Structures are given as C-alpha cells and as structure tokens.
Amino acid sequence: MVLSAYLNLDPERFATAGARESEVRSLIDSGHRQIESAHLDHDHREQVRGDLERVQDYLSGGDAPSGAHGLAVFSCSSLDLFEALSLPEPVESSISFDAGPLIAPLAEIGPSGHWCVTLVNRRVARIMRGSQDRLFSVAEIGDSIQGRRTRDGWYEHDVQAHLRHTAEVLLSQQRRRPFQGLLVAAPHDLRDTFEKTLHSYVRERLVGYLDDLDVEAATEEEVRERAADVIAEHEREHLTEKLGRLRAELGRDGRAVGGADGVMDALQQRRVEALLFTRGDKIPDEMIEEATEAAIAQDAEVLAVDGPDLGPLGGIAALLRF
C-alpha cells in the first residue's frame, strides 16, 4: 500500500507557522481516521500506520523545503519508497492510500520538476532540477584540473574529462528521472565542446543557453529568474504546437482522438503519444487518475490545458503514435 499525502502551503492561507502546523495536524488526523476505518488486514494496517508516522515526522520536522506552495509525499515501507516533491502551485490538502501512488493532482498542476539547468565552466559544474517557479540543486561537480596547460592557462586534457564527467551525471539524471528540457549556462567558447560531449538522449533536450550568469557564484534564485522566461515561452510554444497537431489530426481523422471513451480505448491499446486534458474541468478525478497513470506507463506526455480548447471534446483528448 502506498500512502499519498498532499499538503497545501498557499502563502495567502498559510503564511504563518501556526497555520501550517494546524494544516499538518488536520491532514495527519484525517489519515488516522481513514486507516482505522478501512478494511485492511493486520500487516497492511501496520504498514500504513508506520508510513503515516514517517510522513508526519517529515512534515513536522522542518525538513520540508522553504518557498514551496504545496508538497506531495509518497511513502511505502514495504517498497522502500519515500519521496517528497515540492510543488510550484497550491494543492488541496488530502491523504489516501492505495495499491499505487495518487498522481492526478500532479497532472493538474503541470510538469513541475521536469526541467534541468546546468551551469558549467572549465572547473566546476552545478546541476539543478525543477520548474519555472522553483529550482533545486541536485549535484555539484568539482574536478581536479591538472596536466598540460593551454595558451589560456587551462589544462586541456582534464577540462575534457571534467566535461565528460558532467555529461555522465546529466545522463544519469535523465535516465533516473527524465527531464523535458535542458538549459545550459557556460562560457561561449566552451558551449560547442560541451554540447558535443552530451549523450544524444540529453542533447536532444537542449533548449538553449542562459547568458550573463556567473557559473560559480549565481544563487538558485538568480538562476531561476533567468530560466523562468525561457521555460515559460518554451512551454507555451510546446502546448500550442500540440494543440495545433491535435486539431489537424482530428480534422483528417488521423492520429488523434477526443472524448473520454476514445482516449481510454487508445490508452488501453498503448497508442498514446500525448494525453491532454482541461485543467480544472469537470472530469471525474478517477478518470484523470486512471488516464494519467496509463499515459505515464507508456511514456506518453501529459499536458494540462487552460481555456476552452478541449471543450468540444469533453475536456480530454490524445495524440496517437499510430
């Protein structure tokens, strides 16, 4: 059983420590009530109780990142799972347990955590993950640079090794948790060399470069501010392109389908390339949950859409692979 907890940290409602503590207590109390009233065998009940205690310790212990507007926490001791995600938008506080994690609320707020920003020069590299609203440092690399000097005073052999090391860490990040876009801050004369060093899986996600950032001294907030506009523009263009393709394919009865029945059938056949649904539309949560899980299981993209674009299709549609 996987325990899924969502905590609302909307700064307009939970600006004080007391308000946040009250919300955590209410969430944990709800979890206790659900566990004690559920029809569970002894082993499952004890497992979920332990997971709830672990979530409570995390939420009450000051380990949660500052600046988040929401948190998602997933715990399952029998699977050695405990993962906490900082969310860039508020969510309704809720707690539940089931055979798998509850991920529909994540789809509602979009692809948080699916961007990677890398700052690299000839001596150090910094890798950050997140969204246009928040970036977190996930790796810092400082390789020993020594060997044959170039005219510029750098040891070229070890510079190449440093760039390869950075590229390997990025590939590991991509394989462990894929990111949809990569932004790089690097000296101009190093960019082509670094780009050629990247594995093709990583290089194909390179969106562009960030100028005028001090690779070693820039703060996370400075990096986020510089990256935010680039990410927002790319995501707008990406969604516009997907919606345009959807309209074109539907117009010629091509590789697209609209409406709940058609989408669920395509998901069952594992034909979906991208799942699109209207954010906040009156689509049953159970359907969004089932559709999102099925889409992720077949490596399909999940896009939440604002506005009326999918209204004639019942608020849900899909682009198809075949």
Higher pLDDT, 297 or 124: 124
Helix (H, G, I), strand (E, B) or coil at 245: helix
pTM score, whole prediction: 0.63
Which pLDDT band, with edges at 50, 70 and 90, does 112 fall under? very low
Instruction: Give one DSSP letter per residue of 41-55, joined into a string.
Output: -HHHHHHHHHHHHHH
Residue 85: other Cβ atoms inside 10 A = 15
Q: What pLDDT shows up at residue 110?
A: 56
Taking only the tens place, the pLDDT of each residue in 62-107 is 655 556 788 999 999 999 999 888 787 788 999 999 998 988 787 7
Q: What is the mean pLDDT of residues 271-291?
A: 86
Taking only the tens place, the pLDDT of each residue in 161-175 is 999 999 999 998 888
Which pLDDT band, with edges at 50, 70 and 90, does 147 fall under? very low
Q: What is the mean pLDDT of residues 110-138?
A: 83
Radius of gyration of the chain (CA): 22
Q: What is the mean pLDDT of the chain?
A: 88
CA distance 83 to 75: 7
Of 71-75, 183-187, 262-266, 282-286, the one with minimum mean pLDDT is 282-286
Q: Which residues contact 110 (CB under 8 A, 6 or more apart)?
A: 89, 131, 279, 303, 304
Residue 187: other Cβ atoms inside 10 A = 11
Token readout for 1 is 């059983």
Q: What pLDDT shows up at residue 296?
A: 82
Instruction: Give one DSSP letter per residue of 187-228, joined into a string.
Output: -HHHHHHHHHHS-HHHHTTEEEE--S--TTT--HHHHHHHHH
Q: What pLDDT shows up at residue 243?
A: 96
CA distance 139 to 117: 11
Residue 41: other Cβ atoms inside 10 A = 8
Q: Which phi and psi (to 5°) does residue 160 adopt?
A: -60, -40
> Quick check: 149 pLDDT over 80?
no
Higher pLDDT, 23 or 283: 23
Q: What is the mean pLDDT of residues 120-146?
A: 82
Can you give 4-39 as a three-state secondary structure string?
Answer: EEEEECCCCCCCCHHHHHHHHHHHHHHHHHHHHHCC
Q: What is the mean pLDDT of residues 16-25?
A: 90
Helix (H, G, I), strand (E, B) or coil at 318: strand
Taking only the tens place, the pLDDT of each residue in 210-258 is 998 999 999 988 999 999 999 999 989 999 999 999 999 999 999 999 9
CA distance 260 to 243: 17
